[in-house]
Structure 1
Amino acid sequence: MKIVDVCAFLSPQGGGVKTYIEQKLAIGPRLGHEIVIIAPGDHDEVITRGPGARIVTLASPRFPLDRKYWYFDDEPRLHEALAAEAPDFVECSSPWRSASMVARWRPDVPKALIMHADPLSAYAYRWFGALLSRETIDRRFERFWDHLRELGEAFDQVVCASRELQGRLAEGGVANAALHPMGIEAGLFTPERRDLALRRELLTLCDLPEDAHLLIGVGRLSAEKRWPMVIDAVAAASRTLPIGLVMLGAGRNKNRILGQIAGNPHIRLLAPERNRQRFAALLASADALIHGCEAETFCMAAAEARAAGVPVIVPDRGGAADHARGGAGIAYAAGNALAASQAIVDLFAGRAPLVGEIDPPVTMEQHFERLFAEYERIGLQARAAA
């Protein structure tokens, strides 16, 4: 098949969507498919990534709220680009305006919407959840739910990487919501990468001895990640047990997070580790991963920790919660620092129901094998119907 992904939020500076796209460009041709990404950018450009893999950028405006991104503003031009590629299958990687643009192009060509974002959890539930129930918030955001329902009717599948998102969309009347958990990079994350010398080094950085507990946090420094809550939870748990936290991340909230740490010698904020082998070793050398965001559509960091044999402490909502299932970690009430603190203490005190051997998450290759096989099935049905 020739698969064209209209990806509105692809930034060269990194992020989960970029990681996913890069894996798709590498793996898709190995599976016998041609992969083309159409993305907005500063200039019209074609970037060849190898046989059967290209990125086509269309000159577009910068996104005003985050200048790392652009957005499609010319629907006829986007339709022309799609027509020029003549795809067998079209993906759209954003539930916003670009999804409606794609939905209006040739209804006879099968399409899937990839839910790389969960706007209700990232914004509405987080902003108003302390005052209103989710049911009330959903009623107040009925217009957005109507938009999602329209997309569900227009796309052959709405691809969700977590059980909670797929279930919530289906319950909300969004048709064709399907569960396709994402995967991790094959062969990289494994318990064998655990390095006791590296663990001692990190605990020393946290001004703690070797017999203390070491937590790691990984992710963008943005509001929806709830790092201030995580910091408060770790500080509270540290009154019971000696605990160090090493955070790897960058973003616009860095100064606020440093203020929240407030000189606590047991919590250290480090830059993201770009060397993948060293990052895998850092992850495997921790005693647990802690995460605060309940708006994850999959939570790659938790999946990678699970593959590295590291238990996870995660919110009980969103994609991260899936990775605590089956004894792989412990889930706490989302957004609640006290509950997160108790979960930390329970895990390190041996009160969490952990299991020694956990099935690792699927690899990205397995994910795309399954997803593209589903696309082929949908394509066959569409051709038969025609």
Structure 2
Amino acid sequence: MRIVDVCAFYSPQGGGVRTYVEQKLKIGPELGHEIVVLAPGDDHAVIEHGPAARIVTIPSPRLAFDRKYWYFGDEPALHAALDALDPDFVEVGSPWRSPSYVARWQGNAPRALVMHNDPFSVYAYRWLEPWLRRETIDRRIDFLWQHMRKLGRDYDRVVCASRELRARLARGGVAGTALHPMGIDTTLFGPQRRDPEVRRQLLALCDLPEDAHLLIGVGRYGAEKRWPVAIDAVMRAGLTRPIGLVLIGEGGAAKRLTKHIAGNPHIHLLAPERNRLRFATILASADALIHASTSETFGMAPAEARACGVPVIVPDEGGAADHAADGAGLTYRAGDALAAAEAILALLDQSRPLRTPHARSMRDHFTALFADYERIREGERRVA
């Protein structure tokens, strides 16, 4: 198949979506498919990634609030690009403007909406749940549910990477939902990467001896990641035992997080580690990973920690919760720092290490996903 991924979230400076796209460009051709990523950019460009993989950009405006990203603003230009590419299957990775554009394209190729973004959790639930019940919030944002239901009717699949997101969309009346958990690079992430010297260095950075406990958090410094919950939890748990926390990321909330830490020497912010082998070593050398976001559609960092044999402490809502299943970690009540602190202490009190289940590779993910697309082309329409 020639699979065209209409990817509004792609940016050369991006994070999780860029990693996912690069894996697709590599693995898709190995599975016998041609992969074209159609993305917005400053101008028209074709970036070859091999004989059957390329990124094509079309001129588009940049986002005002994050200049690293663009958005599709010209529907006829997007339709013309799809006509020229003549896909066998079309993916769309954003729930916003671009899936409506692609739904109106007159081509015959079947289409899938891949939920790289959870608009309900990122915005409405995060902003309003401190004051309103979720049922009330859903009634007040029915316009968004109507939009998603229409996309469910327009698309042959609505692909979700977590059980919680798929179940929530299906309950809300979105048709065609299908569960396809993502995977990780199993050649890179594994328990063999654990390095006691790296662990000692990170604890020293947190002004703690090597017999203290080391927690790590990975992700962008943005409001939707809810890092203050993780910071407060570690501060509370640290009243009873020595615990260091290292956060790895970047973003506009870095100054606010530094202020929130308030000079605590046991909590340290680090810039992203671009060397993937070094990053895998740092992750595997922690005693646990803590996560606070409830808006993850999958949770790549918890998945990578799980593959490294590092237990995870994650909220009970959102995609990250899946990675605590099968004995790989503990969940806590979302948004509750005290509950998170109790989960930290409960995990550290474990008399035996938590089990490390088999890690799903990105090849496993794309093999199953593309097989589903093949079934759609052969006539099967929707999975209930």
With the shorter chain as reference, the TM-score category is over 0.9
Aligned to 1:151: 151
Q: Distance in 2 between matches of 1:380 and 1:106?
A: 20
Aligned to 1:341: 341
Conserved in 2, the CA contact under 8 Å of 1:246 and 1:269? yes
Conserved in 1, the CA contact under 8 Å of 2:152 and 2:176? yes
Conserved in 1, the CA contact under 8 Å of 2:149 and 2:174? yes
Aligned to 1:368: 366
Aligned to 2:200: 200
1:179 aligns with 2:179: yes
Cα offset, 1:169, TM superposition: 0.2
Cα offset, 1:73, TM superposition: 1.0
Cα offset, 1:210, TM superposition: 1.2
Conserved in 2, the CA contact under 8 Å of 1:299 and 1:319? yes
Aligned to 1:312: 312
Conserved in 2, the CA contact under 8 Å of 1:223 and 1:253? yes
1:250-306 CA distances to partner (integer Å, 9 max, x unpaired)?
A: 001110011111111101101111111111110110000000101000000000000
Identical-residue share of aligned pairs (%): 65
Aligned to 2:251: 251
Aligned to 2:92: 92
Aligned to 1:109: 109
1:202-258 CA distances to partner (integer Å, 9 max, x unpaired)?
A: 111111111110000100000000111211111111001110001111001110011
1:12 aligns with 2:12: yes
Taking structure 1 as reference, are residues 99 and 37 closer, same or farther at Cα in structure 2, changes over 3 Å only? same
Cα offset, 1:382, TM superposition: 6.7
Aligned to 1:269: 269
Q: What one-letter code is carried by the residue in structure 1 that aligns with 2:280? A: A
TM-score under structure 2 length normalisation: 0.97
Matches within 5 A, 1:33-52: 33-52=33-52
Cα offset, 1:356, TM superposition: 4.2
1:358 aligns with 2:339: no
TM-score under structure 1 length normalisation: 0.97
Aligned to 1:377: 375
2:91 counterpart SS class: strand
Cα offset, 1:347, TM superposition: 0.8
Q: What one-letter code is carried by the residue in structure 2 that aligns with 1:83? A: D
Cα offset, 1:67, TM superposition: 1.4
2:379 counterpart SS class: helix
Q: Distance in 1 between matches of 2:23 and 2:338?
A: 38
Cα offset, 1:346, TM superposition: 1.0
Cα offset, 1:14, TM superposition: 2.1
Q: Distance in 2 between matches of 1:160 and 1:46?
A: 29
1:318-351 CA distances to partner (integer Å, 9 max, x unpaired)?
A: 0000000111000000011111111111111228
Segments of 5+ residues of structure 2 without an aligned counterpart are none
Q: Distance in 2 between matches of 1:69 and 1:323?
A: 29
Aligned to 1:68: 68
RMSD: 1.2
Conserved in 2, the CA contact under 8 Å of 1:159 and 1:177? yes
Aligned to 1:235: 235
Q: What one-letter code is carried by the residue in structure 2 that aligns with 1:183? A: G
1:360 counterpart SS class: coil
Q: Distance in 1 between matches of 2:229 and 2:162?
A: 23
Conserved in 2, the CA contact under 8 Å of 1:326 and 1:355? no
1:224 aligns with 2:233: no
Taking structure 1 as reference, are residues 372 and 262 closer, same or farther at Cα in structure 2, changes over 3 Å only? same
Alignment coverage as a number of residue pairs: 381
Q: What one-letter code is carried by the residue in structure 2 that aligns with 1:327? A: G
1:50 counterpart SS class: coil
Cα offset, 1:37, TM superposition: 0.7
Conserved in 1, the CA contact under 8 Å of 2:329 and 2:354? no
Segments of 5+ residues of structure 1 without an aligned counterpart are none
Aligned to 2:325: 325
Q: Distance in 2 between matches of 1:368 and 1:335?
A: 33
Cα offset, 1:66, TM superposition: 1.5
Conserved in 2, the CA contact under 8 Å of 1:108 and 1:382? no
Aligned to 1:126: 126
Q: What one-letter code is carried by the residue in structure 1 that aligns with 2:379? A: Q
